[in-house]
């Protein structure tokens, strides 16, 4: 597709339920990022993939959060035993690669997955 695609767009989960959020990056983009955005805040970094390798997961808030990108394209962010504080928009972004050039560095966001935990 032309842009970053995320699904589901909206998810209501009961506390304790597991959820899986999917991201389909722009075709050919090597780098993939997950961000979490709470209401009224800027996006907060969660994790970064270069192809299938997860190079940085320092932003994942707890071991209930897990991300994968097994074939270097589609990525899934999984949240186990959801809690109310997990309610946020989860943004996926991708970039062509990662280098010194403006083109490679520019990240493009998907529309986000809005998670509400009740």
Partner 1 sequence: QKEVEQNSGPLSVPEGAIASLNCTYSDRGSQSFFWYRQYSGKSPELIMSIYSNGDKEDGRFTAQLNKASQYVSLLIRDSQPSDSATYLCAVITGSGTYKYIFGTGTRLKVLA
Which residues make up the interface to partner 1 (CB under 8 A)? 31, 33, 35, 40-45, 48, 56, 91, 98, 102, 105-112
11 DSSP β-pair partners: 115
CB 117 to partner 1: min, Å? 19
CB 85 to partner 1: min, Å? 18
Of residues 80 and 107, the one with the C-beta less far from partner 1: 107
CB 88 to partner 1: min, Å? 13
**Cβ neighbours, 10 Å, residue 15:** 11
Give the residue among 52, 10, 6 at the shortest CA–CA distance from 25: 6
Of residues 31 and 75, the one with the C-beta less far from partner 1: 31
Which CA distances in Å does 21 have to 26, 42, 99?
A: 17, 20, 28
Of residues 106 and 116, the one with the C-beta less far from partner 1: 106
Distance CA 117, CA 11 (A): 8
Of residues 62 and 106, the one with the C-beta less far from partner 1: 106
Asked whether the beta carbons of 65 and 72 are under 8 A apart, the reply is: no
């Amino acid at each position: 597709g032309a842009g970053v695609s995320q699904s589901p767009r909206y998810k209501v989960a009961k506390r304790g339920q597991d959820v899986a959020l999917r991201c389909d990056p722009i075709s050919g983009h090597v780098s993939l990022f997950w961000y979490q955005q709470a209401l009224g805040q800027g996006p907060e970094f969660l994790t970064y993939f270069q192809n299938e390798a997860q190079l940085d997961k320092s932003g994942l808030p707890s071991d209930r959060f897990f991300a994968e990108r097994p074939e270097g394209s589609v990525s899934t962010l999984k949240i186990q035993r959801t809690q109310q504080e997990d309610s946020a928009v989860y943004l996926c972004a991708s970039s062509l690669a990662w280098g010194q050039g403006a083109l490679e560095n520019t990240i493009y966001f998907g529309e986000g997955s809005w998670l509400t935990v009740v």
